[in-house]
Structure 1
Amino acid sequence: MKELLEHLEKRLGKKFDEADVRMAHPLVLAYIGDTIYDLFVRTYLVMAYNVPVHQLHVKAIDFVRAKGQADTLRHIVRFLTEEEQDIVRRGRNAKPGTMPKNASVADYRLATGFESLLGYLYLTGRDERLFEILDYILDNAKEGGKGERG
């Protein structure tokens, strides 16, 4: 993942350093974190299941919907560093302009905190920690049956 950031930094002639990431609005971190998580989940599902696209989409929903992300955060929070918990807190407390119809306010805010964490780890180039968290999520999903429908 670092290669993508390095490529863009070279192309744009601008370095996106840790201070820039720390100063970024939590919703900006959540914006990129949502994409990182979605790409990870979809790639995992394509590699793990030989099923039609509609079934892949149904499986992906379990992971990427706000309730799924909130539940994931509830499971991993005890493994997060204080710095990571602070990023989650900032994301959770950010005031979004809109709310989804199919999620509670509490779940949506936790999901935003989770996405902020993933965005932060990605943008700071902490791939090893990002993959550690994502692997933990997949291990939990296998044990709990998440994404195993159909």
Structure 2
Amino acid sequence: MENHFEPHFTNDQLRSISSIGLAHMGDAVFEVLVREWLCAHGKATGRGLHQATIRLVCAESQAEKAKSILPLLTEEEAAVFKRGRNAQVHTVPSHASRAQYREATALEALFGWLYLSGQRERVNELFSRMMEEHN
């Protein structure tokens, strides 16, 4: 039986996924990590939990957090990040600039790629670095 909670795509399979597809997956991965982090750190309760999640997963926040990990990326990770940043997005949320949205999409593509390639430890390492300022 296939384990959908812990996928491990081959390099060929990963290359066949569009940048938008990787970002779609990474968006979900990032949100799950944020929700777990908020619960574990007791940062919010009840209705405030939803608002805290929204503040951390919005494009502006993701773009800012991406800056803290860029120097840590391997050559391959940086290539995936750039591929995500160059993705053709057709709509940008009104509360984010196009540049912020591109950086957020790049971050999500990276997280999607890492997750689908089975690199959970690396996802955790990068996410932890991004969240250090919130501790």
Q: Runs of at least 4 residues of structure 1 off by over 4 A?
A: none
Work out the CA distance in 2 between the residues paired with 1:50 and 1:8: 30
Residue 54 of structure 1, CA deviation:
1.7
Is 1:69 the counterpart of 2:62? The answer is yes
RMSD between superposed Cα atoms in Å: 1.7
Residue 141 of structure 1, CA deviation:
2.5
Work out the CA distance in 2 between the residues paired with 1:50 and 1:34: 21
Structure 1 residues 84-99: aligned runs within 5 Å: 84-99=77-92
Name which of 18, 33, 45 aligns with 2:11: 18
Question: Structure 1 stretches of 5 or more lacking a match?
Answer: 1-5, 10-14, 143-150
Deviations 1:47-72 (A, max 9, x none): 22174322112222231000100001
Q: How many residue pairs align between the two structures?
A: 132
Q: 2:4: which partner in 1? A: 8
Identity of matched residues, % = 36
Work out the CA distance in 1 between the residues paired with 2:21 and 2:51: 27
Q: 2:28: which partner in 1? A: 35
Q: Which has the higher contact order (CA 8 A, sep 6+)?
A: 2
Is 1:47 the counterpart of 2:43? The answer is no
Is the helix fraction higher in 1 or 2? 1
